[in-house]
Structure 1
Amino acid sequence: MTGGRIVVGVDGSAPSLKALKWAAGQAALTGDSLHAVIGWEFPASWATLMPGVPPEFDPERLAKQILDESLAKALPPETVATVTRTIVGGNAAQALIDQAEGASLLVVGARGYSGFKAAALGSVSSNVTQHAPCPVVVVRGEVPGVGDAD
């Protein structure tokens, strides 16, 4: 079966770069298209946590930059050119669950950028494994060529 869609969560962290590389390899094997997704949201106490943030600050533009840089870092240019990119304002786990509707596979790293670095499984990966509408792969450990210096 070819022509499916693999959704991969990206947040710029080493685990998400490993997940991205793994997902690209899987897409090459299966003939599925690769869709990279990044979610962003303002913290509940945005004004008090980040005083002095300039009014021109654009978190969506920052998310796009992180996504573009992650793709360029993890994948060869010919692969990057074929990746569909989606930037979602909202909770990252819910964004991935929503984007995975109808997908053949959802891929995430074991941990990303969160306050719980010591957790064996991050909150996003834990949430999507419980609620995704398709099979989920949580990439753990080392993927050659990504995050080796991290």
Structure 2
Amino acid sequence: MVPQSNRVEKMKMALWLIAGLIVLVGAYIRLAPSDPAIWHNTPVGDANRDLRGGVVRVLETGPDGLAQLNEIAMASPRTKVLAGSVDDGMVTYITRTKVIGFPDYTTAQQNGDTLRIYGRLRFGRSDFGVNRNRVDGWLARMQP
């Protein structure tokens, strides 16, 4: 039979290992590099789609839709430009969740009067509608 103090020490060690693993995973989520070659790609599709891990929106905005969206996105908490610019006609934003810092990527491209937006998660399979809510919220704030 293992003495009580030995079991307690093993439990403490296991808890420290689990805590260390959680810290390492959290650090990876926050510090993993975001490669523009992977995330800054032209959104495709001609119709709105709600995806398990993201959203696609296609709308007629006139030629200044991307500029309007850029102002709104840049005013959003924890959002910054990963790649591109309004002048380039395509911008990819990275928005991180408040607590854990999960990154979500939103690419918007202006093609004539058509604005295509693709918001998606990086980690996991489902975003529970977070990207849909963010993108739809941005679009609701755009001028008609």
Greater relative contact order structure (CA < 8 Å, 6+ sep) = 1
| TMscore range, shorter length | under 0.3
Q: Which has the larger radius of gyration?
A: 2
Q: Which has the higher strand share?
A: 2
Please give the TM-score of this superposition, normalised by the length of structure 2: 0.28
